[in-house]
A and B are shown apart, each in its own frame.
Chain A
Amino acid sequence: MMFSFLVIDDDDLDCMIAKKFISLTGKATEISVMQSANEALNFLSGFEYTAPSFSWVIVLDVMMPGMDGFQFLDEFSKFPPSIKRHFRIMILTLSNDPYRLKKLGEYPTVSAVLEKPITLEKLNDTLLKIQESVA
């Protein structure tokens, strides 16, 4: 299964790294990068969805200045199901704080949490998990 990716991370180096690893999985049809949650929300709300069902994976950083990952998730959950069904969200975080991870797990829109540093193995596993959750 192939996906379109949307990477949301304020850090340009992290974006570059995520992009490289995603392309190495061989599962990306396209990779978009947004450096703020606001930008991503604008993109999502103005987007024309041509694909019939789920085909996008959002890779989301949690700690961002301005709107952080949690606030993005809150906003995202307000989108109508007709939009939401196109997306699965993968959290990319440095945090190993159990409280934070638990809080993230409570969002129904979050399909997986990947702890930084990112590796190809971790990314492949996570994508497989997302794929299985759809099927």
Chain B
Amino acid sequence: MTNQLAVDKIKILYLDDERPSLNAFKAVLREQHEVFITTNEQHAYELLDQHRDIRIVFSDQSMPTHSGTDFFEKISHLYPLPIRILVTGYNEDEQHIIDAINRGNIFRYLKKPWSVETLNRIIAEANKSYLTTSLLQQKNSELTEAYAELDKFAYSVSHDMRGPLAGIMSAMQLLRITDDPDERKEIVEIAINSAERLDRYIINLHDYYSIRRGKLSITEIDLVILKKELEQLYEAMANAKQIEFSINLHVEEPFRNDEMAIRLILTNLISNAFKYQKKAGESKYVEVDIEVENGVAVFSVRDNGIGIKEHYLTEIFTLFFRASLDEAGSGLGLYNVKNVVEQLGGQISVASTFDVGSTFRVVLPNK
């Protein structure tokens, strides 16, 4: 912290009706800090408005048009963040100082004539107080945001877990009062589907948490092996749904990254490509291109499925957003992908035409 104080150029404003005081102040501090001086109250407001990162405001107490206390009282409402320091004359009335503390909520007062040492000490203390307050504010707003997300999360989680569970409970109820074997079979199918949905949801949820908490571990990834694994993983689905599945590798240099993250990205995008196919489509395909060269890795996942309507394109990476009602989705998958991609310092984009198909493209730096 001390080091940072020394290195940082702090923005400081000083309002005083006496030019010589202002000049002396600036002369002492301008090497180390960025100093704004003015004799005009209005101008002081303008400066505060233009430079929102001013950290410390000094003001003389006795000025012809107004007092420092009045000035501080006003800016404590208008610009509450900067630390306020009252500069007083040699024979300042004690009552003025008490007033300034009570109404102007000042941090310190500096008596004229001041020594450079005292001035520097006060600035260092004020800066520390400023940083603590700002940090607290930042943490506070982060916390508020986290709470809001947690609320949304808790609601969605309970809804999305109770949904399939309610399905299973109802299916079991139905089973108890249904005798027809064909119907019973259909009901069991419903229960299995609901259970699978719940399972998928929990896997996604687990991904969500490991992304948020997880540290990345960068290793060299053998893309030839990964390609083989993915082909095996999707072979059954490709055959069952009559979808041509291919992975093309173009690797010019060793690829280093977090293997879990890469798997999460690819399996989510490929699963989506398989899932959002046209029910009665012909020559359906899912194509994956993986290119690694010049320190950049590009993954493209392309399909000729149902596509995404244009007005949904900006929203598909949002938590719990679902663009299609035709397939069961948790609204977590693409959100997770985007989070991981951003953690890896990469970018994800999508090009899609409704009823024609989609291409998701992930660009990652090779670590």
Contacts and interface: CB of A to CB of B under 8 A. Distances in A.
Main secondary structure of the interface of A (DSSP, over half): loop
A14 B164 CA distance: 9
Contacts of A13: 164, 167, 190, 193-194, 197, 328
Contacts of B169: 117
B189 to A, nearest CB: 9
B171 A17 contact: yes
B45 interface: no
A2 interface: no
B163 interface: yes
Contacts of B164: 13
A21 B170 contact: yes
Interface in B79-121: none
A24 to B, nearest CB: 7
A28 B321 CA distance: 35
Nearest to B167: A13
Interface in B124-142: none
A40 to B, nearest CB: 12
Contact of A10 (B171, B173, B325): B325
Contacts of A120: 173, 177
A76 B170 CA distance: 29
B78 interface: no
B191 to A, nearest CB: 9
B250 interface: no
Prevailing SS type, chain B contact patch:
helix
Contacts of A17: 167, 170-171, 174, 190
A38 to B, nearest CB: 10
A117 B170 contact: yes
Contacts of A36: 325
A24 B167 CA distance: 17
B163 to A, nearest CB: 6
A24 B187 CA distance: 14
Interface of A: 10-14, 16-17, 20-21, 24, 35-36, 63-66, 94-95, 116-120
30 contacts: A10-B325, A11-B167, A11-B328, A12-B328, A13-B167, A13-B194, A13-B328, A14-B163, A14-B166, A14-B167, A16-B190, A17-B167, A17-B171, A17-B174, A20-B183, A24-B174, A24-B177, A36-B325, A64-B325, A65-B323, A94-B163, A95-B159, A116-B163, A116-B170, A117-B165, A117-B170, A117-B173, A118-B166, A118-B173, A120-B173
> 5 shortest A-B CB distances, which residue pairs?
A117-B166, A117-B169, A116-B166, A65-B322, A117-B170
